[in-house]
Protein backbone atom coordinates (compact mmCIF):
# COMPACT_ATOMS: atom_id res chain seq x y z
CA UNK A 1 0.00 0.00 0.00
CA UNK A 2 1.10 3.55 -0.58
CA UNK A 3 3.14 2.63 -3.66
CA UNK A 4 2.62 3.39 -7.31
CA UNK A 5 1.78 0.42 -9.53
CA UNK A 6 5.31 0.38 -10.94
CA UNK A 7 6.85 0.39 -7.47
CA UNK A 8 4.45 -2.31 -6.28
CA UNK A 9 5.17 -4.59 -9.23
CA UNK A 10 8.92 -4.13 -8.83
CA UNK A 11 8.77 -5.04 -5.14
CA UNK A 12 6.40 -7.92 -5.86
CA UNK A 13 8.75 -9.37 -8.48
CA UNK A 14 11.71 -9.20 -6.11
CA UNK A 15 9.79 -10.85 -3.27
CA UNK A 16 8.46 -13.54 -5.60
CA UNK A 17 12.03 -14.63 -6.34
CA UNK A 18 12.51 -15.53 -2.67
CA UNK A 19 9.16 -17.27 -2.39
CA UNK A 20 7.08 -14.45 -0.89
CA UNK A 21 3.77 -13.91 -2.70
CA UNK A 22 1.80 -10.68 -2.31
CA UNK A 23 -1.90 -10.10 -2.65
CA UNK A 24 -3.02 -8.98 -6.09
CA UNK A 25 -3.35 -5.26 -6.83
CA UNK A 26 -7.14 -5.33 -6.61
CA UNK A 27 -7.01 -6.71 -3.06
CA UNK A 28 -4.49 -4.05 -2.06
CA UNK A 29 -6.69 -1.29 -3.52
CA UNK A 30 -9.73 -2.69 -1.73
CA UNK A 31 -7.84 -2.78 1.57
CA UNK A 32 -6.64 0.80 1.03
CA UNK A 33 -10.23 1.87 0.34
CA UNK A 34 -11.36 0.10 3.50
CA UNK A 35 -8.71 1.81 5.63
CA UNK A 36 -9.24 5.30 4.22
CA UNK A 37 -13.03 4.82 4.26
CA UNK A 38 -13.85 7.56 1.73
CA UNK A 39 -12.30 10.23 3.93
CA UNK A 40 -10.33 11.77 1.05
CA UNK A 41 -12.18 14.48 -0.86
CA UNK A 42 -10.33 16.05 -3.80
CA UNK A 43 -11.59 18.73 -6.15
CA UNK A 44 -10.95 22.15 -7.60
CA UNK A 45 -11.21 25.47 -5.78
CA UNK A 46 -10.62 29.05 -6.80
CA UNK A 47 -7.84 30.92 -5.00
CA UNK A 48 -6.02 34.24 -5.41
CA UNK A 49 -2.50 34.23 -6.83
CA UNK A 50 0.41 36.54 -5.97
CA UNK A 51 -0.54 38.75 -8.93
CA UNK A 52 -4.01 39.30 -7.44
CA UNK A 53 -5.78 37.27 -10.12
CA UNK A 54 -8.11 34.36 -9.41
CA UNK A 55 -7.03 30.88 -10.47
CA UNK A 56 -8.23 27.31 -10.00
CA UNK A 57 -6.15 24.87 -7.98
CA UNK A 58 -6.53 21.27 -6.83
CA UNK A 59 -7.60 21.06 -3.19
CA UNK A 60 -7.79 17.99 -0.96
CA UNK A 61 -9.21 17.52 2.51
CA UNK A 62 -10.40 14.93 4.97
CA UNK A 63 -14.19 14.91 4.66
CA UNK A 64 -16.28 14.24 7.76
CA UNK A 65 -13.91 15.52 10.44
CA UNK A 66 -16.01 14.29 13.37
CA UNK A 67 -16.17 10.75 11.98
CA UNK A 68 -12.45 10.83 11.20
CA UNK A 69 -11.59 11.92 14.75
CA UNK A 70 -13.82 9.13 16.09
CA UNK A 71 -11.95 6.64 13.89
CA UNK A 72 -8.58 7.91 15.14
CA UNK A 73 -9.67 7.79 18.77
CA UNK A 74 -11.12 4.29 18.38
CA UNK A 75 -7.80 3.06 16.98
CA UNK A 76 -5.76 4.85 19.65
CA UNK A 77 -8.05 3.43 22.33
CA UNK A 78 -7.83 -0.08 20.89
CA UNK A 79 -4.03 0.06 20.94
CA UNK A 80 -3.92 1.56 24.47
CA UNK A 81 -2.19 4.70 23.23
CA UNK A 82 -4.50 7.26 24.85
CA UNK A 83 -3.19 9.05 27.92
CA UNK A 84 -4.39 11.92 30.08
CA UNK A 85 -0.86 12.98 31.06
CA UNK A 86 -1.15 12.24 34.77
CA UNK A 87 -4.61 13.81 35.00
CA UNK A 88 -3.39 17.09 33.51
CA UNK A 89 -6.03 16.58 30.84
CA UNK A 90 -9.40 16.07 32.59
CA UNK A 91 -10.64 12.48 32.34
CA UNK A 92 -13.81 13.58 30.56
CA UNK A 93 -11.94 15.50 27.81
CA UNK A 94 -10.07 14.73 24.60
CA UNK A 95 -7.76 17.50 23.42
CA UNK A 96 -7.47 17.95 19.66
CA UNK A 97 -4.90 20.21 18.04
CA UNK A 98 -5.69 21.95 14.76
CA UNK A 99 -2.85 23.76 13.00
CA UNK A 100 -1.84 25.32 9.73
CA UNK A 101 1.30 26.38 7.91
CA UNK A 102 2.68 27.11 4.45
CA UNK A 103 5.76 25.20 3.39
CA UNK A 104 7.23 23.32 0.43
CA UNK A 105 5.02 25.43 -1.89
CA UNK A 106 1.70 24.36 -0.34
CA UNK A 107 -0.68 25.38 2.44
CA UNK A 108 -1.53 22.56 4.84
CA UNK A 109 -3.84 22.15 7.80
CA UNK A 110 -3.15 19.43 10.34
CA UNK A 111 -4.88 17.60 13.17
CA UNK A 112 -3.37 15.85 16.19
CA UNK A 113 -4.74 14.13 19.27
CA UNK A 114 -3.01 15.57 22.35
CA UNK A 115 -3.94 12.53 24.49
CA UNK A 116 -0.85 10.70 23.24
CA UNK A 117 2.68 10.40 24.58
CA UNK A 118 4.14 12.13 21.51
CA UNK A 119 1.32 13.97 19.73
CA UNK A 120 3.75 16.06 17.65
CA UNK A 121 5.50 13.12 16.00
CA UNK A 122 5.06 12.66 12.25
CA UNK A 123 3.16 9.41 12.85
CA UNK A 124 0.56 11.27 14.92
CA UNK A 125 0.24 14.40 12.75
CA UNK A 126 -2.51 14.12 10.14
CA UNK A 127 -2.71 16.52 7.21
CA UNK A 128 -6.45 17.16 6.90
CA UNK A 129 -6.32 19.68 4.04
CA UNK A 130 -3.79 20.94 1.50
CA UNK A 131 -3.45 22.93 -1.72
CA UNK A 132 -0.53 24.51 -3.57
CA UNK A 133 -1.45 28.11 -2.74
CA UNK A 134 -0.03 30.95 -0.67
CA UNK A 135 -1.36 31.41 2.86
CA UNK A 136 -2.99 34.80 2.39
CA UNK A 137 -6.09 35.68 4.41
CA UNK A 138 -8.28 35.44 1.28
CA UNK A 139 -6.93 31.99 0.46
CA UNK A 140 -7.44 30.86 4.06
CA UNK A 141 -11.08 31.95 3.82
CA UNK A 142 -11.53 29.83 0.69
CA UNK A 143 -9.46 27.02 2.19
CA UNK A 144 -11.84 26.71 5.15
CA UNK A 145 -15.03 27.31 3.17
CA UNK A 146 -17.03 24.39 1.85
CA UNK A 147 -16.72 21.98 4.74
CA UNK A 148 -13.50 22.16 6.73
CA UNK A 149 -14.33 25.31 8.71
CA UNK A 150 -17.88 24.19 9.50
CA UNK A 151 -16.75 20.69 10.49
CA UNK A 152 -14.04 22.12 12.73
CA UNK A 153 -16.64 24.31 14.46
CA UNK A 154 -18.91 21.29 14.92
CA UNK A 155 -16.00 19.28 16.31
CA UNK A 156 -15.82 21.64 19.31
CA UNK A 157 -19.21 20.39 20.54
CA UNK A 158 -18.56 16.76 19.60
CA UNK A 159 -18.47 13.95 22.18
CA UNK A 160 -16.56 10.66 21.91
CA UNK A 161 -17.51 7.88 24.33
CA UNK A 162 -18.83 10.44 26.82
CA UNK A 163 -15.71 12.60 26.57
CA UNK A 164 -15.89 16.19 25.32
CA UNK A 165 -13.66 17.30 22.48
CA UNK A 166 -11.65 20.45 23.22
CA UNK A 167 -10.02 22.01 20.14
CA UNK A 168 -6.76 23.98 20.34
CA UNK A 169 -5.20 26.02 17.54
CA UNK A 170 -1.48 26.15 16.78
CA UNK A 171 0.73 27.51 14.02
CA UNK A 172 3.34 30.18 13.43
CA UNK A 173 2.43 33.71 14.45
CA UNK A 174 1.78 34.85 10.89
CA UNK A 175 -0.78 32.05 10.45
CA UNK A 176 -2.48 32.87 13.77
CA UNK A 177 -2.75 36.56 12.83
CA UNK A 178 -4.40 35.66 9.53
CA UNK A 179 -6.85 33.26 11.16
CA UNK A 180 -7.94 35.93 13.64
CA UNK A 181 -7.89 38.80 11.15
CA UNK A 182 -5.02 40.86 12.57
CA UNK A 183 -2.94 42.93 10.17
CA UNK A 184 0.24 41.19 11.36
CA UNK A 185 3.20 41.41 13.75
CA UNK A 186 4.29 44.79 12.33
CA UNK A 187 1.04 46.54 13.30
CA UNK A 188 0.55 49.10 16.06
CA UNK A 189 -1.25 46.44 18.14
CA UNK A 190 0.56 43.27 17.02
CA UNK A 191 -0.36 40.99 19.93
CA UNK A 192 -3.14 38.45 19.44
CA UNK A 193 -3.84 38.17 23.17
CA UNK A 194 -3.74 41.78 24.39
CA UNK A 195 -3.84 45.44 23.35
CA UNK A 196 -0.33 46.51 24.34
CA UNK A 197 0.99 48.87 21.62
CA UNK A 198 4.19 47.80 19.91
CA UNK A 199 6.06 50.97 20.95
CA UNK A 200 5.53 50.25 24.67
CA UNK A 201 6.59 46.60 24.62
CA UNK A 202 10.13 47.62 25.60
CA UNK A 203 8.79 48.75 28.99
CA UNK A 204 8.26 46.44 31.95
CA UNK A 205 4.49 46.92 32.00
CA UNK A 206 1.60 44.48 32.15
CA UNK A 207 -0.99 44.54 29.34
CA UNK A 208 -3.81 46.96 30.10
CA UNK A 209 -6.53 45.03 28.26
CA UNK A 210 -6.88 41.44 27.09
CA UNK A 211 -8.36 40.55 23.71
CA UNK A 212 -11.16 38.01 23.28
CA UNK A 213 -12.75 36.41 20.26
CA UNK A 214 -15.69 38.77 20.75
CA UNK A 215 -13.51 41.89 20.97
CA UNK A 216 -11.68 40.93 17.76
CA UNK A 217 -15.02 40.58 16.00
CA UNK A 218 -16.44 43.86 17.34
CA UNK A 219 -13.25 45.78 16.52
CA UNK A 220 -13.49 44.56 12.94
CA UNK A 221 -17.17 45.48 12.68
CA UNK A 222 -16.23 49.08 13.46
CA UNK A 223 -13.52 49.08 10.77
CA UNK A 224 -14.53 50.42 7.31
CA UNK A 225 -13.82 47.52 4.96
CA UNK A 226 -12.77 49.30 1.74
CA UNK A 227 -9.08 49.03 0.82
CA UNK A 228 -8.48 52.80 1.02
CA UNK A 229 -8.86 52.68 4.82
CA UNK A 230 -6.34 49.91 5.58
CA UNK A 231 -3.88 52.48 6.92
CA UNK A 232 -6.46 53.41 9.55
CA UNK A 233 -6.68 49.86 10.91
CA UNK A 234 -4.64 50.79 14.00
CA UNK A 235 -7.61 52.84 15.20
CA UNK A 236 -9.53 49.57 15.35
CA UNK A 237 -6.80 47.62 17.17
CA UNK A 238 -5.45 46.22 13.88
CA UNK A 239 -8.52 43.98 13.41
CA UNK A 240 -8.33 43.99 9.63
CA UNK A 241 -10.61 40.98 9.03
CA UNK A 242 -13.26 38.94 10.77
CA UNK A 243 -11.87 35.91 12.71
CA UNK A 244 -12.17 32.75 10.63
CA UNK A 245 -12.55 30.16 13.40
CA UNK A 246 -14.69 30.24 16.57
CA UNK A 247 -11.82 29.08 18.80
CA UNK A 248 -11.37 31.22 21.92
CA UNK A 249 -7.96 32.83 22.41
CA UNK A 250 -7.20 30.88 25.59
CA UNK A 251 -7.12 27.78 23.37
CA UNK A 252 -4.64 29.33 20.93
CA UNK A 253 -1.22 27.93 21.78
CA UNK A 254 1.64 30.48 21.95
CA UNK A 255 3.96 29.55 19.05
CA UNK A 256 7.01 28.77 21.17
CA UNK A 257 8.94 27.12 18.34
CA UNK A 258 8.82 30.37 16.35
CA UNK A 259 9.46 32.42 19.49
CA UNK A 260 12.63 30.36 19.90
CA UNK A 261 13.61 30.89 16.25
CA UNK A 262 13.08 34.65 16.54
CA UNK A 263 14.97 35.10 19.80
CA UNK A 264 17.97 32.97 18.82
CA UNK A 265 18.21 34.82 15.51
CA UNK A 266 18.02 38.16 17.36
CA UNK A 267 20.79 37.16 19.77
CA UNK A 268 23.03 35.95 16.97
CA UNK A 269 22.48 39.10 14.87
CA UNK A 270 23.50 41.24 17.85
CA UNK A 271 26.58 39.05 18.36
CA UNK A 272 27.52 39.40 14.68
CA UNK A 273 27.08 43.17 14.91
CA UNK A 274 29.39 43.32 17.94
CA UNK A 275 31.98 41.24 16.06
CA UNK A 276 31.71 43.59 13.05
CA UNK A 277 32.43 46.56 15.32
CA UNK A 278 35.58 44.85 16.62
CA UNK A 279 36.71 44.10 13.05
CA UNK A 280 36.33 47.75 12.06
CA UNK A 281 38.28 48.90 15.10
CA UNK A 282 41.07 46.47 14.23
CA UNK A 283 41.19 47.83 10.68
CA UNK A 284 41.55 51.39 12.01
CA UNK A 285 44.47 50.60 14.34
CA UNK A 286 48.05 51.77 13.60
CA UNK A 287 50.15 48.94 12.15
CA UNK A 288 52.44 48.73 15.17
CA UNK A 289 49.40 47.63 17.20
CA UNK A 290 48.57 44.82 14.78
CA UNK A 291 49.76 41.30 14.18
CA UNK A 292 50.41 40.05 10.67
CA UNK A 293 46.76 38.98 10.37
CA UNK A 294 45.64 42.39 11.61
CA UNK A 295 47.86 44.14 9.07
CA UNK A 296 46.25 42.10 6.31
CA UNK A 297 42.86 43.33 7.47
CA UNK A 298 44.07 46.95 7.57
CA UNK A 299 45.74 46.84 4.14
CA UNK A 300 43.27 44.73 2.21
CA UNK A 301 39.95 45.04 4.04
CA UNK A 302 37.52 42.36 2.85
CA UNK A 303 40.34 40.80 0.78
CA UNK A 304 42.27 39.87 3.94
CA UNK A 305 41.67 36.14 3.43
CA UNK A 306 43.06 36.24 -0.11
CA UNK A 307 46.06 38.17 1.19
CA UNK A 308 46.58 35.61 3.95
CA UNK A 309 46.39 32.73 1.47
CA UNK A 310 48.86 34.44 -0.89
CA UNK A 311 51.20 35.19 2.02
CA UNK A 312 51.13 31.55 3.17
CA UNK A 313 51.76 30.38 -0.39
CA UNK A 314 54.64 32.86 -0.70
CA UNK A 315 56.24 31.58 2.51
CA UNK A 316 55.91 28.01 1.29
CA UNK A 317 57.48 28.86 -2.08
CA UNK A 318 60.32 30.79 -0.40
CA UNK A 319 61.03 27.73 1.72
CA UNK A 320 61.04 25.49 -1.34
CA UNK A 321 63.39 27.93 -3.10
CA UNK A 322 65.85 27.96 -0.19
CA UNK A 323 66.10 24.18 -0.16
CA UNK A 324 66.17 23.74 -3.94
CA UNK A 325 69.27 21.88 -5.11
CA UNK A 326 68.86 21.71 -8.88
CA UNK A 327 68.87 24.58 -11.33
CA UNK A 328 65.49 23.42 -12.64
CA UNK A 329 63.89 23.63 -9.17
CA UNK A 330 65.45 27.05 -8.53
CA UNK A 331 63.98 28.41 -11.77
CA UNK A 332 60.61 26.81 -11.02
CA UNK A 333 60.23 28.21 -7.48
CA UNK A 334 61.70 31.58 -8.44
CA UNK A 335 58.99 31.94 -11.09
CA UNK A 336 56.29 30.82 -8.66
CA UNK A 337 57.52 33.25 -5.99
CA UNK A 338 57.55 36.15 -8.43
CA UNK A 339 54.04 35.24 -9.63
CA UNK A 340 52.68 35.14 -6.07
CA UNK A 341 54.41 38.43 -5.16
CA UNK A 342 52.88 40.02 -8.25
CA UNK A 343 49.40 38.72 -7.34
CA UNK A 344 49.82 40.10 -3.80
CA UNK A 345 50.89 43.49 -5.15
CA UNK A 346 47.78 43.66 -7.34
CA UNK A 347 45.43 42.87 -4.47
CA UNK A 348 43.40 45.97 -3.61
CA UNK A 349 41.72 47.17 -0.45
CA UNK A 350 37.94 46.74 -0.35
CA UNK A 351 35.64 47.84 2.44
CA UNK A 352 34.71 45.28 5.05
CA UNK A 353 31.17 44.03 4.55
CA UNK A 354 29.07 42.64 7.41
CA UNK A 355 30.45 39.27 8.64
CA UNK A 356 33.51 39.52 6.34
CA UNK A 357 36.15 40.43 8.94
CA UNK A 358 38.27 37.79 10.74
CA UNK A 359 36.38 38.13 14.04
CA UNK A 360 32.84 38.11 12.60
CA UNK A 361 33.53 35.40 10.01
CA UNK A 362 34.91 33.13 12.74
CA UNK A 363 31.38 32.82 14.14
CA UNK A 364 30.33 30.80 11.09
CA UNK A 365 33.28 28.47 11.72
CA UNK A 366 31.93 27.71 15.20
CA UNK A 367 28.41 27.23 13.85
CA UNK A 368 29.77 24.71 11.33
CA UNK A 369 31.67 22.94 14.11
CA UNK A 370 28.38 22.40 15.95
CA UNK A 371 26.55 21.56 12.70
CA UNK A 372 24.38 24.65 12.81
CA UNK A 373 23.57 26.09 9.39
CA UNK A 374 21.99 29.53 8.87
CA UNK A 375 19.34 29.41 6.13
CA UNK A 376 20.74 31.56 3.34
CA UNK A 377 17.38 32.58 1.86
CA UNK A 378 15.55 33.08 5.16
CA UNK A 379 17.45 36.02 6.70
CA UNK A 380 20.10 33.53 7.91
CA UNK A 381 17.65 32.19 10.48
CA UNK A 382 18.02 28.74 12.06
CA UNK A 383 15.73 25.74 12.04
CA UNK A 384 14.32 24.45 15.33
CA UNK A 385 16.86 21.68 15.97
CA UNK A 386 19.73 24.09 15.33
CA UNK A 387 18.23 26.56 17.82
CA UNK A 388 18.24 23.78 20.43
CA UNK A 389 21.94 23.22 19.68
CA UNK A 390 22.61 26.96 19.84
CA UNK A 391 21.11 27.13 23.33
CA UNK A 392 23.55 24.48 24.54
CA UNK A 393 26.06 26.10 26.92
CA UNK A 394 29.07 24.67 25.06
CA UNK A 395 27.82 26.10 21.77
CA UNK A 396 27.17 29.69 22.79
CA UNK A 397 30.34 29.80 24.92
CA UNK A 398 32.38 28.60 21.93
CA UNK A 399 30.82 31.42 19.89
CA UNK A 400 31.83 34.08 22.39
CA UNK A 401 35.29 32.59 23.08
CA UNK A 402 36.22 32.72 19.40
CA UNK A 403 35.74 36.51 19.50
CA UNK A 404 38.53 36.79 22.06
CA UNK A 405 40.77 34.29 20.27
CA UNK A 406 40.45 36.03 16.89
CA UNK A 407 40.79 39.52 18.36
CA UNK A 408 44.03 38.53 20.08
CA UNK A 409 45.21 37.01 16.79
CA UNK A 410 44.72 40.40 15.10
CA UNK A 411 45.83 43.03 17.62
CA UNK A 412 47.73 43.55 20.86
CA UNK A 413 45.71 46.65 21.74
CA UNK A 414 44.42 45.90 25.27
CA UNK A 415 41.36 48.12 24.82
CA UNK A 416 40.09 46.16 21.82
CA UNK A 417 40.89 42.83 23.47
CA UNK A 418 39.05 44.04 26.58
CA UNK A 419 36.04 44.93 24.41
CA UNK A 420 36.00 41.34 23.09
CA UNK A 421 36.03 40.10 26.71
CA UNK A 422 33.12 42.43 27.52
CA UNK A 423 31.11 41.10 24.56
CA UNK A 424 31.77 37.54 25.72
CA UNK A 425 30.57 38.26 29.26
CA UNK A 426 27.41 40.02 28.08
CA UNK A 427 26.36 37.37 25.58
CA UNK A 428 27.27 34.49 27.89
CA UNK A 429 24.92 35.97 30.50
CA UNK A 430 22.19 36.68 27.94
CA UNK A 431 22.26 33.24 26.32
CA UNK A 432 22.49 31.48 29.67
CA UNK A 433 19.46 33.41 30.95
CA UNK A 434 17.40 32.47 27.91
CA UNK A 435 18.60 28.85 27.91
CA UNK A 436 17.09 28.48 31.41
CA UNK A 437 13.75 29.75 30.09
CA UNK A 438 14.03 27.40 27.11
CA UNK A 439 14.68 24.40 29.36
CA UNK A 440 11.76 25.38 31.61
CA UNK A 441 9.05 25.56 28.94
CA UNK A 442 10.17 23.62 25.86
CA UNK A 443 8.89 20.21 26.90
CA UNK A 444 5.70 18.14 27.18
CA UNK A 445 5.83 17.45 30.92
CA UNK A 446 3.52 18.40 33.76
CA UNK A 447 4.29 21.81 35.32
CA UNK A 448 3.46 22.27 39.02
CA UNK A 449 2.86 25.55 40.87
CA UNK A 450 6.40 25.72 42.23
CA UNK A 451 7.83 25.31 38.73
CA UNK A 452 5.52 28.04 37.39
CA UNK A 453 6.96 30.53 39.90
CA UNK A 454 10.47 29.54 38.83
CA UNK A 455 9.58 29.91 35.14
CA UNK A 456 8.17 33.40 35.77
CA UNK A 457 11.34 34.35 37.64
CA UNK A 458 13.61 33.10 34.84
CA UNK A 459 11.60 34.90 32.16
CA UNK A 460 11.78 38.14 34.16
CA UNK A 461 15.53 37.72 34.69
CA UNK A 462 16.12 37.17 30.98
CA UNK A 463 14.03 40.11 29.79
CA UNK A 464 15.40 42.48 32.44
CA UNK A 465 18.91 41.68 31.19
CA UNK A 466 17.84 41.94 27.55
CA UNK A 467 16.21 45.35 28.11
CA UNK A 468 19.36 46.60 29.85
CA UNK A 469 21.57 45.51 26.96
CA UNK A 470 19.24 46.34 24.07
CA UNK A 471 16.65 48.97 25.07
CA UNK A 472 13.97 49.65 22.44
CA UNK A 473 14.72 46.28 20.77
CA UNK A 474 11.93 44.10 22.20
CA UNK A 475 10.11 42.12 19.49
CA UNK A 476 6.49 40.87 19.73
CA UNK A 477 7.70 37.29 20.21
CA UNK A 478 9.49 38.34 23.41
CA UNK A 479 6.33 40.13 24.55
CA UNK A 480 4.36 36.89 24.02
CA UNK A 481 7.01 34.99 25.98
CA UNK A 482 6.85 37.48 28.85
CA UNK A 483 3.10 37.87 29.19
CA UNK A 484 1.23 35.06 27.43
CA UNK A 485 3.33 31.89 27.48
CA UNK A 486 3.25 31.81 31.27
CA UNK A 487 -0.52 32.37 31.39
CA UNK A 488 -1.03 29.42 29.01
CA UNK A 489 1.21 27.22 31.16
CA UNK A 490 -0.64 28.30 34.32
CA UNK A 491 -4.00 27.41 32.77
CA UNK A 492 -3.09 24.00 31.32
CA UNK A 493 -0.18 22.96 33.60
CA UNK A 494 1.87 21.65 30.66
CA UNK A 495 5.03 22.67 28.84
CA UNK A 496 4.54 24.37 25.48
CA UNK A 497 5.95 21.38 23.61
CA UNK A 498 2.78 19.28 23.93
CA UNK A 499 0.30 21.53 22.12
CA UNK A 500 2.80 23.45 20.00
CA UNK A 501 3.27 23.77 16.25
CA UNK A 502 6.19 21.33 15.84
CA UNK A 503 4.05 18.58 14.32
CA UNK A 504 2.49 20.96 11.81
CA UNK A 505 5.96 22.16 10.78
CA UNK A 506 7.28 18.61 10.36
CA UNK A 507 4.48 17.50 8.01
CA UNK A 508 6.00 19.44 5.08
CA UNK A 509 8.88 17.00 4.80
CA UNK A 510 6.72 13.86 4.85
CA UNK A 511 4.27 15.25 2.27
CA UNK A 512 7.16 16.41 0.07
CA UNK A 513 8.56 12.87 0.13
CA UNK A 514 5.22 11.41 -0.95
CA UNK A 515 4.98 13.97 -3.75
CA UNK A 516 8.50 13.43 -5.09
CA UNK A 517 8.80 9.66 -4.63
CA UNK A 518 5.42 7.96 -4.31
CA UNK A 519 3.44 10.17 -6.71
CA UNK A 520 6.25 11.07 -9.09
CA UNK A 521 4.81 9.40 -12.18
CA UNK A 522 1.22 10.68 -11.83
CA UNK A 523 0.56 13.47 -14.32
CA UNK A 524 -3.02 14.48 -13.55
CA UNK A 525 -2.89 16.96 -10.59
CA UNK A 526 -6.20 15.76 -9.12
CA UNK A 527 -5.16 12.11 -9.16
CA UNK A 528 -1.72 13.02 -7.87
CA UNK A 529 -3.08 14.92 -4.86
CA UNK A 530 -5.61 12.15 -4.19
CA UNK A 531 -2.78 9.60 -4.17
CA UNK A 532 -0.69 11.76 -1.81
CA UNK A 533 -3.54 12.26 0.67
CA UNK A 534 -4.63 8.61 0.48
CA UNK A 535 -1.09 7.35 1.02
CA UNK A 536 -0.59 9.76 3.91
CA UNK A 537 -3.76 8.52 5.66
CA UNK A 538 -2.92 4.88 4.95
CA UNK A 539 0.53 5.36 6.51
CA UNK A 540 -1.09 6.65 9.71
CA UNK A 541 -4.22 4.49 9.98
CA UNK A 542 -2.70 1.20 8.78
CA UNK A 543 0.08 1.47 11.36
CA UNK A 544 -2.54 1.76 14.10
CA UNK A 545 -4.54 -1.20 12.77
CA UNK A 546 -1.59 -3.60 13.00
CA UNK A 547 -0.39 -2.60 16.49
Backbone angles phi, psi at 435, to 5 degrees: -65, -30
Residue 547, pLDDT above cutoff 80: no
Residue partners of 306: CB distance under 8 A and separation at least 6: 300, 347
Position 489 scores a pLDDT of: 95
Neighbouring-strand partners of residue 350: 301
- Chain segment 473-492, per-residue pLDDT in tens: 899 999 999 999 999 999 99
Tens of pLDDT, residues 261-277? 999 999 999 999 999 99
Q: Please write the tens of the pLDDT for every residue from 388-437.
A: 999 999 999 999 999 999 999 999 999 999 999 999 999 999 999 999 99
Top mean-pLDDT range of 374-388, 429-443, 512-526: 429-443
Q: Which of 210, 239, 215 is nearest to 484 (CA)?
A: 210
What's the whole-number mean pLDDT along residues 154-180? 95
pTM: 0.87
Residue 178: CB partners within 8 Å, gap ≥ 6? 135, 136, 137, 140, 241, 244
Lowest mean pLDDT among 85-99, 379-393, 489-503, 529-543: 529-543
Put residue 488 in one of left, alpha, beta given phi > 0 → left and psi -120 to 50 → alpha: alpha
Share of the chain above pLDDT 90, in %: 64
How many angstroms separate the CA atoms of 397 and 414, rounded?
21
In the predicted model, what is the mean pLDDT of the chain?
A: 89
Give 234-248 as a DSSP string: GGGTTB-S--SS---
List the strands of the sheet with 126-131, edge to edge.
Answer: 40-48, 54-62, 126-131, 106-113, 93-103, 163-171, 159-160
pLDDT band, residue 4 (cuts 50/70/90): low
Strands (E), 27-125: 40-48, 54-62, 93-103, 106-113
Amino acid sequence: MGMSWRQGRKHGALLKKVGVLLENEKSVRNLTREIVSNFVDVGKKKFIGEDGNEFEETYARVAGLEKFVDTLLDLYNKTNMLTWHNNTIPENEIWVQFGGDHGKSSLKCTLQIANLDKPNSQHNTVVVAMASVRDTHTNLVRFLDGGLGDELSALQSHVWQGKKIKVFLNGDYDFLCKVYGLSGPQGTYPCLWCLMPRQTMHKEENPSQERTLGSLSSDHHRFPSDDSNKREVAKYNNSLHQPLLPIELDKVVPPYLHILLGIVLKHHKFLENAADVIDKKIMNQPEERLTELGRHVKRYGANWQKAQQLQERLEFEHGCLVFSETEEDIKKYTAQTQSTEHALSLLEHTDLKPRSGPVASSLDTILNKHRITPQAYHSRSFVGNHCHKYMNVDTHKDLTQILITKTQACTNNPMIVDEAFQVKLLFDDLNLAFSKVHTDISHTKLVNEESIDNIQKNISTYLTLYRRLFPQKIIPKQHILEHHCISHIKQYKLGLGLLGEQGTESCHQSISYLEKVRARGIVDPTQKLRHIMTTHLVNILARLRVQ
